[in-house]
Structure 1
Amino acid sequence: MRRMVAGTLLWLAAAGAHATQTLDVLHWWTSLSERQAANSLAGALATEQLAWRDAAIPGGAGVGAFKVLKSRVLSGHAPDVAQLIGPTIGDWAQLGLLLELDDVADDQDWQDRFFPTIWKLSRYSQHVVAVPVGIHRINNLYYRPEVFAEFGLLPPRNWAEFERVAAQLQRAGITPLAQSGEPWQVATLFETLLLSETGPAFYRRLFRLRDPADWQDIRVRRALERLRSLKRWMPQPVAQRSWDEMARGFARGDAAMWVMGDWARGELNSLGLEVDRHFGCTTVPGTAGMHLYSVDTFAMLSGGYVKLRQQEAFARLAASVPVQLAYNRIKGSVPVRRDIDPAQLDPCSRQSWQTFGRGDAVQAPSIVHRMATDEAMKDAIIAQVYRYFSEDQIPAPEVQRRLAAISRALK
């Protein structure tokens, strides 16, 4: 890992020496596969005589990167390009800090080439203010095919099947379900359970209407109770491990199943594992035909427009078909364009891309990964879910009351 990072830095330094301009890019991609994906974007920039000056900030779900971005903007040292996600794009655009990319979008016909949800996400006040680079699906269940084959098991389609599979695995001395105790990873598992219990329409309603009464719904209670009941299938105690550590553990065979976004698939690929050979990929029970999504997106900080040409070149390249295919193949996500050839995607990616393409009826924006709501509500939900998961004496109805109060206060 150290050799790879060192090699990356040398390559970037060499690229910078020959390029006429550099772009300072702030992001939170620090795992093995994320670095490889960033390198693919840097390589595309190099073809335009532009060097990617890396400003990677460690931290799952981008918590650290957002703090650094705010600090740099306030101190007058804003990056040229920053990774932003979901509603936060509008927040930054409202402050007049983001470059408008209308000319690039018009030239490349983004409105027709992008999925409608993606096109909407990239705009604020009728202007394009961000370039989306990949769509992640979060409601994935990964499993070990050789373990399932040994015991004659099939991937579970519903929770009754999951319980039977988990019980059989546990009796055989195999940990059924991998899980980290990091708050954002616990909440990521919860949002997949919430989607499983409610379906996309009610899931979206929780955040679009912010009716406190919706959080008292029996389906929310069932999702909470299932979150706690799944603990019996996890390693004990549930330790706080980074998601890429979890990927390495899953690759070693520490557990038979794992619920995580498809960045995990990119990481497993980077570790030498192949989908359908070394690991299987299906949907979380009860979410077949649904797409819990997050979108990797970059915005250009205006900064007096001194690097307008270079920033527009970044946006043009990042949205192009070749770069989209190369980047997403590494990252584990899928292209934001609907005009690609799906035959170029592996089976898991193809299913994700085709499902997302069915539109709003099957799509659900991630809470944890900044697609469904603002930072304040996201952080409050993660805190309540994590506390409930960690402290067994807290009843589910109490958490529902707290979530309703949060919704009421932040409406």
Structure 2
Amino acid sequence: MPIAPIPHNVPPPRPGPRRPRVLLGLALCGLAAILPRAEAQPSSSLQVHHWWTSASERRAANVLALRLGEEGVEWKDGAIPGGAGLGAGKVLKSRVLAGDAPDATQIIGASIGEWAELGLLLEFDGVAVAGGWNNALFPTVLALVQHRKHVVAAPLGIHRINTLLYNRKLFARAKLAPPSTWHELALAAAALRAVGVAPLLQSSEPWQVATLFENLVLAEGGPDYYRELFVRQTPQAAADARLAVALERLRLMKGWMASPLDEQPWTGVVRRFARREAAMLVTGDWAKAELKELGVPLDDEFSCAPMPGTGKLHLYSVDTLSMFTQDYAHVAAQEKLARLAVTPAVQQQYNLAKGSVPVRRDADPAQMDSCARASWTAFAKGAQSQVPSLVHRMAADEESRDAIIAEVHRFFVNDAVTPGEVQRRLAAVLRSLKLQHRK
């Protein structure tokens, strides 16, 4: 059944031993005890919790809903508005605490392991074996959806976060080619200003600022340093000169931006980009799909390229769906959704609508647009080219992510804060996080 428009406003799982540190916070320690255990009843519907609320995201979710409907299962939509899933995450925790967990939910990255560690996610190893996931999926994706060697999530698509969207016509006015280095990017900004064009669009919303910043860290420091800072979270990495350079460049780019302190949802930024209010936008490739919904054609009005300095790298985020165990009344329907998500046909249709690329190694690049083809090819090169996004929960847990984003955002909005101060504060944050992780 198609998704309704959003108003504006099986054996039980085998959880492993609990770690001393409960990743989702003390309030969730007793979740397994409070979830309802009603007697199983046949079900022909699934309530799905997610944050796909833009026009392109709705189209992608509708692909899943329609295919699930063809299998005799109704998709009951539970979309929660809010960029980067911040609102949806809070609502999900509240619902689980209240004993009202959804049947299926969008959970991504490190959050998958946090929920699985509590013993709340359905394992569907049989679906994965029957679908040949071991051979079909990229190894990085397969590892992401597993916890303690059990499959606890269904992968949907891979987004490239290091995407530079640029307006081809505005670039032609300034006689520019897409930049591939920081030096070329700075020259392009100057040339665009000289012809009366704002070089860059950006919202001051914290996660959007941090998305630009993690691109700058990757471009300046490379994948090894990026992982040292954001994945291993070594306090000494915060003192590195490369971090200071990334911070200085973030502040320089703030001066290129049209209305840099306007806090807008990403969809609003994309609409402004479609109206030619600036020539460039650094974000995930979901923006490409939203431009398509606005009637702005790829490779005519705009194109995309890797963020300068990251041409051979893929800063990734992977969309995934997990299923809550609850009373096991919905297992058959939940397994249908997990199976469908990875089938070649759904992969092609979903990712075409979403702007992402398939999680399957056997996908056909010839069926992709130019941006998607470049993204899928870069990811397919293997682990050496793949870098997990901090902002989009691939590199670290929620607590670490939020603490780092807060420091970056503080620097962005307050010009009195120096790069050195940010480095000292980040080092302290990382030391504190390491201490907490050891408890």
Q: After the TM superposition, which residues 208-223 of structure 1 pair with which residues of structure 2 at under 5 Å, given as runs?
A: 208-223=231-246
How many pairs were matched up? 398
Cross-structure match for 1:258: 281
2:177 aligned to 151, 154, 173, which one? Answer: 154
Residue 55 of structure 1 aligns with an amino acid whose one-letter code is G
Matches of 1:101 and 1:237, distance apart in 2: 45
Contact 1:201-1:361 within 8 A present in 2 as well: no
What is the SS of the residue equivalent to 1:253?
coil
Cross-structure match for 2:47: 24
Deviations 1:238-265 (A, max 9, x none): 3111100111111111111110100101
Cross-structure match for 1:170: 193
Matches of 2:301 and 2:143, distance apart in 1: 37
Matches of 2:393 and 2:99, distance apart in 1: 25
TM-score w.r.t. structure 1 length?
0.95
2:314 aligned to 277, 281, 291, which one? Answer: 291
- Structure in which a larger fraction of residues adopt helix: 1
Contact 2:105-2:322 within 8 A present in 1 as well: yes
TM-score w.r.t. structure 2 length?
0.89
Cross-structure match for 2:162: 139
What's the offset of the Cα at 1:401?
1.1
What's the offset of the Cα at 1:206?
2.0
Deviations 1:21-50 (A, max 9, x none): 110000001111111111111011011011
Deviations 1:133-182 (A, max 9, x none): 00000001111111112221111111111111111111221111011111
1:353 aligned to 376, 381, 401, which one? Answer: 376
Moved over 3 A (4+): none
Cross-structure match for 1:9: 4
Q: Does the alignment pair 1:199 with 2:222?
A: yes
Structure 2: gaps (5+ residues): 7-41, 435-439
Contact 1:175-1:235 within 8 A present in 2 as well: yes
What is the SS of the residue equivalent to 2:309?
coil
Contact 2:43-2:329 within 8 A present in 1 as well: no
Deviations 1:103-126 (A, max 9, x none): 000001101110000000000001
What's the offset of the Cα at 1:237?
4.8
Contact 1:20-1:49 within 8 A present in 2 as well: no
Contact 2:125-2:151 within 8 A present in 1 as well: yes
Q: After the TM superposition, which residues 125-136 of structure 1 pair with which residues of structure 2 at under 5 Å, given as runs?
A: 125-136=148-159
Cross-structure match for 1:15: none
Cross-structure match for 1:277: 300
Q: Does the alignment pair 1:373 with 2:396?
A: yes
Q: Does the alignment pair 1:124 with 2:147?
A: yes
What is the SS of the residue equivalent to 2:111?
helix
Matches of 2:341 and 2:3, distance apart in 1: 19
Matches of 2:386 and 2:393, distance apart in 1: 15
Matches of 2:87 and 2:406, distance apart in 1: 17
Q: Does the alignment pair 1:236 with 2:231?
A: no
2:361 aligned to 315, 319, 338, which one? Answer: 338
Question: Which deviates more, 371-380 or 148-157?
Answer: 148-157
What is the SS of the residue equivalent to 2:412?
helix
Contact 1:141-1:257 within 8 A present in 2 as well: yes
Residue 87 of structure 1 aligns with an amino acid whose one-letter code is A
Distance 1:180 1:208, change over 3 A: closer
What's the offset of the Cα at 1:236?
3.4
Deviations 1:270-314 (A, max 9, x none): 111221111110011101011101000100001121100000000
Contact 1:142-1:279 within 8 A present in 2 as well: yes
Structure 1: gaps (5+ residues): 1-6, 12-18
Cross-structure match for 1:63: 86
Distance 1:167 1:208, change over 3 A: closer
Matches of 1:138 and 1:113, distance apart in 2: 23
CA RMSD of the aligned region, Å? 1.4
What's the offset of the Cα at 1:207?
3.5
Deviations 1:75-102 (A, max 9, x none): 1110000000111101100111000010
Matches of 1:237 and 1:261, distance apart in 2: 18
Residue 348 of structure 1 aligns with an amino acid whose one-letter code is C
Cross-structure match for 1:53: 76
Question: Which deviates more, 162-171 or 87-96?
Answer: 162-171
Contact 1:134-1:336 within 8 A present in 2 as well: yes
Cross-structure match for 2:118: 95
Deviations 1:215-243 (A, max 9, x none): 11111111111001111110135311110
Q: After the TM superposition, which residues 391-406 of structure 1 pair with which residues of structure 2 at under 5 Å, given as runs?
A: 391-406=414-429
